[in-house]
Amino acid sequence: MRRAVCPGSFDPVTNGHLDIVERASRLFDEVIIGVLINHSKTGLFTIEERLEMLSEATAAYTNVRVAAFHGLLVDFCRAQGAAVVIKGLRAVSDFDYELQMAQMNIGLSGVETLFMPTNPLYSFLSSSLVKDVVKWGGDASAYVPDFVGERLAARLKQN
């Protein structure tokens, strides 16, 4: 079975992430969305909340599942039986760092990284930008699923 991992923070999931996941799900037998547990960075949403939102947002894709991981991405890939990592590239500015990581990962373990160009509709989109927009009352409905927008607004109101 050909499996790919889409890793990231997903705090929270955006339509840019979902576009990459959907396209990857058409190329691989199974796609695992790996949510990175980063102990040195507190997110707006807990890992459980991010997993829950990702599961809901990808419920229509039968070959996509979600899991959390910490430590090395290549170890997570090995544990999941995935030989490929898929990364979305928004702009050349993403490329420098992504290339370094891809080269390190292939050196460490032979796991390949495939870069997928972002859908131009979402090339400027990031979770942080969406958080800023919603925080100041902007309309983010084109950028996140409706239920994510509602959860964002509710969480940011509490903060």
- Yes or no: say if 63 and 32 are a contact pair by the CB < 8 Å rule: no
Does the active-site annotation cover 131?
no
Structure tokens at 121: 């509709």
Among 25, 51, 73, 88, binds ligand ADP (CB under 6 A): 88
Does the active-site annotation cover 39?
no
Burial code of 62-76, b = ≥16 C-beta within 10 A, e = fewer?
eebebeebeeebbeb
- Yes or no: say if 140 and 30 are a contact pair by the CB < 8 Å rule: no
Q: Is residue 12 a contact residue for ligand ADP (CB under 6 A)?
A: no
Distance from C-alpha of 97 to C-alpha of 95, rounded to nearest angstrom: 6
Task: Kindly indicate which of the ranges 15-23, 68-76, 99-107, 147-155 contains the residues binding ligand ADP, using the contact rule CB under 6 A.
Answer: 15-23
Binding mask 64-83 for ligand ADP (x = CB under 6 A): --------------------
Binding mask 96-135 for ligand ADP (x = CB under 6 A): ----------------------x---x--xxxx-------
Q: Which of 90, 109, 123, 155 is catalytic?
A: 90
Nearest approach, Cβ of residue 7 and ligand ADP (Å): 6
CA angle 42, 45, 47 (to 5 degrees): 80
Task: Kindly indicate which of the ranges 22-30, 57-65, 87-95, 148-156 contains the residues binding ligand ADP, using the contact rule CB under 6 A.
Answer: 87-95
Q: Is 103 exposed, middle or buried (0-12, 13-18, 19+ CB in 10 A)?
A: exposed
Structure tokens at 157: 């109101």
Does the active-site annotation cover 70?
no
User: Catalytic positions, please?
Assistant: 17, 41, 90, 127
- Residues at the interface with ligand ADP (CB under 6 A): 8-10, 14, 16-17, 20, 87-88, 90, 94, 118, 122, 125-128
